[in-house]
Structure formats: C-alpha cells, structure tokens
C-alpha cells in the first residue's frame, strides 16, 4: 500500500493530545498540553488559546459548532466556534473524555476516578453516576447525535449504555480495557475498541454482530452517523474501513499519525502526531459505493424493473457527492440501493417480495433434482446468520425473506 497524500498538513511542532473534526470536515479542533486551537477547511489556523490547558478530549456539536473540552485540570469547558468560553465547570477529578449532542444541549464527561457526569447546554448537572462504584478512568464516552443514548467504556473492562435521563440500559464486562467507543446518530449501532486488539460492533440491545481481532493493537476507531462504515487506525501508518457487516472494504496509508478521528458525515479522516496534523479524503471509497449502486440499478433495469425511484435517489446522491455533502450522499445511496432491490416489475401489481418469491419457487423446482444432495450441515449456519442479521436490524423482514430464498435455491 502506497503512502497517501493528505489534502493538507499542519506543522507547528505541537503534539496533539486530542482531535475532533466537524461533521462536514470544514473545521477541526486540536488540543495539546499547553492549549487548544482550531483549523479551517484549508488547514489554516483560525484561532488559538492558552486559557484551556491539558486538553484530554474534544467533541464538536454537529449542528451548532460548539465544543466540549475535557481538561486534566479537573474542568470541563463549553466553547463556541470562535473559541470564546460559554461556561466551565469544576469536577472532583480530571476529565478524560467528553461528548456533545448535535444540538449542544447535552454534554457528557468521563473522569479519571470513574465518574460519568451529564450537563445540559447551560452547564447544569442533569445527573451523574459512579460507574461500577470503582475509581477506574472512564476512557471514552459518546452520545448519539440525537442526544438519547450514551455509551461509556472504562479502564475496569466494562462498557455501559445509558439513556439521556440517566437510566442504565445495560452494562457488560469486556475482554480488555475499553480504549475507545463510538455510536451512530440514533444509537442503533455502537462499537468499541479494547486493549486485547479487538474491535466489537453491535446494536443497542448489547448484542454483538461481529468482532475483529487485529495482529497489533489498533490506536483509534470511529463510525459514520449512518453506521455504514467504521474507520480503524490499525497503526500509525494504516487506516482501514469496515462495512456494517464487518467486511474490510477499503484502506489507506497516512503519514505517521498515532491519533485520528473521522468526520461523522463520512467524508474525511483527521489524523495527527508529533510532526504534523493531516486531513485525508474518503471520497475515493465513496465513489466506489456510487459505482456499485449504479450497477445495482442497471441490473434491476435490465430485468424490466421500475427503477424510477432508485434513479431519483441516485441523482441526489451524485449531486451530494459533487457538493461534498457526504452525509446526504450516504443516506441517498442507501435509499437508492434499497429502492433498486425493492423495484417492481413494470406494469405489475405484485410486490417485490411476491415477485421474487414466485421466481425463486420456479427456479427452485427446476433445480430440485440437482440440489437434493446438498449438505444440510453447510446450509444451517448460513440460515442462522441471516436470522441474526434480521434480528439485529441489518436486514429488514423483506430483505431476509429474499436472501433466504436465494440461499435455499443455491
């Protein structure tokens, strides 16, 4: 894998302790031992401050641009996009992790003594708890963009999911120290990286859909708002993308960067190390998604299926990508693919499910003799996997029926 060229690099001899980038990738916050600064879309310095020191974590509100800052000086800050401090609150111990909702009205902080503290947008404590009643650091916290779910991972090898009112939905022991967490926009999907080189991806019911164990300890992970794909910093010089189903789909080689985050819209990766801070584009991968979508629609059209709706979503997706609206692109590509799968036969009243079932039944009958010696033992695990994907929400009921029918006809 060749070393990738960044969109820009920033070199000021500062070793970052925390990174965060806006949803659209147009600005990014960098925290370090001596202060905090903001970079613009071209990598230029917008402002810098030394009023906030020992920055441990940064989170940017996707709608307001406000930033919550976790400081090792036992303080959490809320600042605006211009760097002005809106409020700050002193804590009983050092703040090590933080996350803010998209509207900026819920701010979560994890401390080095096991406290999970939740504030509203005006700095009032809504609730707090002592995780596992232990003084192990809360290494990572993430709140869903809609502000309804909070995931927290600790040095005590536990992960927790709370609702925004402070009710614990579940807690589970992990196989290693939880180093980092991530959650999608509505809390349906979440992931976490542990110290035993493992990344786990699951749903809000706590069910794990897949796990990936790496040869070496990854250094960071992140997820798009749509949960369409995850980015894993496998090392300081290797970033890999995984699909929602756990398949490795793309990757690139940055310059040495032991820290990283992804714009939640899915268009950029922001990485940093002791020598430089860089921004990389993920559009080469997004263009692959677009090509695959076009092929699906073309195939549906060749089967005399009505692809009008799919083409409308496709056109919007193309326009969104051209304007670098990556979140809208992901949403519309997903809709286009779904519409292509569910397209009806032109001038037919049959639903996509009825049509596919009829076709599969006919093909199944014609292949009955040749498939009679198929191994049931080989088929069963695949059927179980399909059932699990339906239960977890990856497949809709109709998609499950179609996939099952295709599997049985093989």
Query: Residue ranges per domain, the chain?
Result: 8-281, 282-348, 352-410
Percent of the chain with pLDDT over 90: 80
pLDDT of residue 12: 84
Please check whether residue 199 is in contact with residue 221, taking contact to mean a CB–CB distance below 8 angstroms: yes
Q: Is 397 helix (H, G, I), strand (E, B) or coil?
A: helix
How does pLDDT run across 74-91, given as a tens digit for each residue?
Answer: 999 999 999 999 999 999
More confident residue, 224 or 255: 224
More confident residue, 149 or 408: 149
Does residue 372 carry a pLDDT above 60? no
Buried b / exposed e over 293-323, threshold 16 CB at 10 Å, is: bbebbeebbeeebbbebbbebbebbbebbee
Q: Tell me which residue of 123, 114, 107, 16 sits closest to 70, measured CA to CA.
A: 107
Q: Between 1.10.150.120, 3.40.50.720, 2.130.10.10, 2.40.440.10, what CATH number should domain 8-281 receive?
A: 2.130.10.10
Counting beta carbons within 10 angstroms of the beta carbon of residue 78, is it exposed (0 to 12), middle (13 to 18) or buried (19 or more)? buried
**pLDDT confidence band for 361 (50 / 70 / 90):** low
Does residue 368 carry a pLDDT above 50? no
In which region does residue 57 sit, left (phi positive, over 0), alpha (psi from -120 to 50) or beta (all else)? beta
Stretch 355-361: mean pLDDT: 56
pLDDT of residue 369: 40
Stretch 239-255: mean pLDDT: 96
More confident residue, 265 or 371: 265
**pLDDT confidence band for 232 (50 / 70 / 90):** very high
More confident residue, 367 or 2: 2
Stretch 235-260: mean pLDDT: 94
Q: How far is CA 169 from CA 148, 166, 319, in A?
A: 12, 9, 40
How does pLDDT run across 380-395, given as a tens digit for each residue?
Answer: 666 666 666 666 666 6
- What the block records as the tokens of 166 is 């402070």
Beta carbons within 8 Å of 151's beta carbon, 6+ residues apart: 141, 142, 143, 159, 160, 161, 162, 181, 182, 183, 190, 192
At 294, which helix (H) or strand (E)?
Answer: helix 283-302
- C-alpha span between 313 and 334 (Å, rounded): 9
- C-alpha span between 386 and 395 (Å, rounded): 8
**pLDDT confidence band for 13 (50 / 70 / 90):** confident
Does residue 366 carry a pLDDT above 60? no
Beta partners for residue 276, in sequence order: none
- C-alpha span between 241 and 267 (Å, rounded): 12
């Amino acid at each position: 894998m060749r070393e990738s060229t960044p969109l820009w690099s920033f070199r000021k001899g500062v070793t970052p302790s925390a990174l965060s980038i806006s949803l659209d990738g147009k600005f990014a916050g960098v925290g370090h031992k001596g202060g905090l600064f903001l970079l613009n879309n071209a990598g230029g310095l917008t402002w810098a401050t030394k009023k906030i020191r020992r920055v441990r974590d940064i989170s940017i509100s996707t709608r307001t641009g406000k930033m919550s800052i976790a400081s090792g000086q036992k303080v959490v800050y809320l600042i605006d996009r211009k760097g002005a401090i809106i409020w700050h609150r002193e804590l009983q111990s050092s703040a090590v992790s933080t996350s803010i909702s998209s509207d900026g009205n819920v701010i979560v902080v994890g401390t080095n003594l096991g406290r999970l503290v939740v504030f509203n947008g005006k700095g009032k404590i809504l609730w707090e708890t002592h995780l596992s009643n232990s003084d192990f650091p809360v290494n990572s916290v993430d709140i869903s963009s809609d502000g309804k779910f909070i995931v927290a991972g600790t040095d005590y090898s536990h992960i927790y999911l709370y609702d925004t009112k402070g009710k614990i939905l579940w807690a589970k022991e992990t196989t290693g120290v939880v180093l980092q967490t991530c959650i999608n926009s509505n809390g349906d999907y979440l992931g976490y990286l542990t110290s035993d080189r493992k990344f786990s991806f699951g749903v809000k019911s706590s069910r794990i859909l897949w796990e990936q164990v790496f040869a070496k300890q990854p250094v960071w992970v992140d997820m798009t708002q749509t949960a369409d794909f995850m980015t894993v910093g496998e090392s300081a010089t290797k970033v890999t993308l995984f699909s929602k189903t756990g398949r490795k789909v793309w990757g690139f080689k940055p310059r040495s960067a032991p820290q990283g985050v992804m714009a939640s819209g899915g268009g950029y990766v922001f990485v940093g190390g002791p020598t430089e801070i860089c921004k990389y584009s993920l559009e080469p991968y997004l263009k692959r998604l677009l090509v695959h979508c076009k092929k699906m629609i073309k195939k549906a059209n060749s089967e005399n299926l009505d692809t009008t709706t799919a083409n409308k979503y496709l056109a919007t997706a193309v326009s969104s990508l051209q304007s670098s609206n990556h979140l809208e692109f992901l949403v519309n590509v997903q809709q286009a693919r779904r519409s292509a799968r569910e397209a009806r036969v032109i001038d037919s009243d049959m639903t996509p499910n009825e049509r596919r079932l009829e076709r599969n039944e006919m093909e199944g009958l014609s292949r009955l003799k040749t498939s009679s010696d198929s191994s049931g033992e080989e088929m069963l695990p695949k059927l179980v996997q399909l059932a699990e994907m339906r239960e977890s929400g990856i497949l809709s009921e109709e998609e499950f029926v179609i996939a099952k029918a295709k599997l049985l006809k093989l």
